[in-house]
Structures are given as structure tokens and as C-alpha cells.
Homo-oligomer: A and B are copies of this chain.
Amino acid sequence: VSAAAVEFWFDFASPYSYPAAMTIEARAAAAGRTVAWRPVTMGPIFADLGWNDSPFNLQPAKGRYMWRDMERICAAEGLPFRRPDPFPANSVAAARAALVALDHDWGPEFCRQVFRAEFAEGADIAEPSTLADLVARAGGDPARALSDAVSPDNRPRLRAAVGHARGRGIFGVPTFLVGEEMFWGFDRLDMALGWPA
């Protein structure tokens, strides 16, 4: 990670990660920063707290607020929005594919394609055929990427990412890290990008 990079930790199942993913590159460029994409799955970290579901489902009032807030945020950002069903999506396959994709220059575009499919198009991002289509849209080789995603070499990478997230104190996403300085939530993106590297 270069000094000017902002680490962007996200889960494909996370609603507020969607507007973050769609806008972070343009905002970072305007701020003279680069983005290090860090896919993770929050399920194991939530499980540490005894949670077996999204906090937005476990806390219905918070969930109702979040869906309304997502409508407002996406409207303000000019992003299409459709509430995913089921929620939360199983994001493990997409995260494994993203770790492979991010070894290539089409990685960030693949991540945006996944978020758009899930939060704007009603697609099921747990489906391998959906992920294959999104790899192709991003400019990658679908068969090779999905084969690499489930390979014995790649599976431990997602587990390692979860371990890194836990070890750095990440408790929710999106989280932006500038060095060890942490910013949690889409509404903190601009503050993170303005934080001295």
C-alpha cells in the first residue's frame, strides 16, 4: 500500500458498501489518492458477537432506517437502487472471485459490476453463472477467473482477509483505512480521503 493509498474494506452483501464502491475511485482521484480494494466477508466477525444474521435484520428499526437511507443516498449520488432479495446476499463466492479479479487491472470494475448487479439489477451474486457474466463484463476471462476463485490456493486468501480485518479492528463495512487511522461508513469517505497519508 503506497503512502497515498486508502484501503477500502467492503463486503458485497453490505448496502453502504455499494455507493462507496461506485464513487470511491472518482473521489480518490479528485483527492490525489489511490484505492486499495479489500474484499472481506463480515459473517465471521459478526459471529464473534453472537450474530447469525445482518445487524439490519437483527435490529428491525435500524433495518427500516437503513433501507430508506439507501434510497436517499443513491438518489443523491445518481445511482440506481433496488432492495436485494434475499438480504443479505451470500457474498462468499463473489469475494473469492474479487480476490482473483483484483490480481488484474479489471478487478475494481468487476467489484463495481457485482455491486450494480446486486443493488440495481436484482441479480443473485451467489450464482456462479451471474459471476461469470460479471467477469466478462469487467473484461476478464470468466472460466479461468471462476476456476481460480475456488482453487485451493485462493480459498485461504478470503479467510486471511477476514483475519486481517478482525486484527485491525474492523467491526463493520465499508471501512476506510489511511495507515492505521480508521473511518467507518460511507458518510466518512470524504473525511478518509482528506486525512493526511
Using CB atoms and an 8 Å cutoff, list the residues of chain A in contact with chain B. 49, 58-59, 61-62, 64-65, 68-69, 169-172, 182, 184-185, 187-188
Does A61 lie within 8 Å of B171, measured CB to CB? yes
Asked if A184 and B59 sit within 8 Å, CB to CB, the answer is no
Contact B68 A59 (CB under 8 A): no
* Closest 4 A/B residue pairs (Cβ): A61-B171, A62-B171, A61-B169, A187-B187
A182 partner residues in chain B, CB cutoff 8 A? 65, 68
Q: Report the nearest B residue to A166, measured CB to CB.
A: B61
Residues of chain B with a CB closer than 8 A to A64's CB: 169
Number of copies: 2
Given contacts A68-B182, A182-B68, whether A61 and B188 have CB atoms under 8 Å apart is: no
Establish whether residues A65 and B188, one from each chain, have CB atoms under 8 Å apart when the complex forms: no
Q: How far is the CB of A1 from chain B (nearest CB, A)?
A: 20
User: In chain B, what residue has the closest Cβ to A51?
Assistant: B59
- Known contacts A68-B182, A182-B68; is A61 also within 8 Å of B187 by CB? no
Contacts of A69 in B (CB 8 A): 184
When C-beta atoms are compared, the residue in chain B nearest to A45 turns out to be B61
B49:A184 contact, CB within 8 angstroms: no
Chain B residues in 8 Å Cβ range of A68:
182
Q: Which residues from B are CB-within-8-Å of A61?
A: 169-171
Partner of A187, one of B58, B169, B170, B188: B188
Complex Cα–Cα for A171 and B59 (A):
8
A154 CB → nearest B CB, Å = 27
| Known A187-B188, A188-B187: A59·B49 in contact at CB below 8 Å | yes
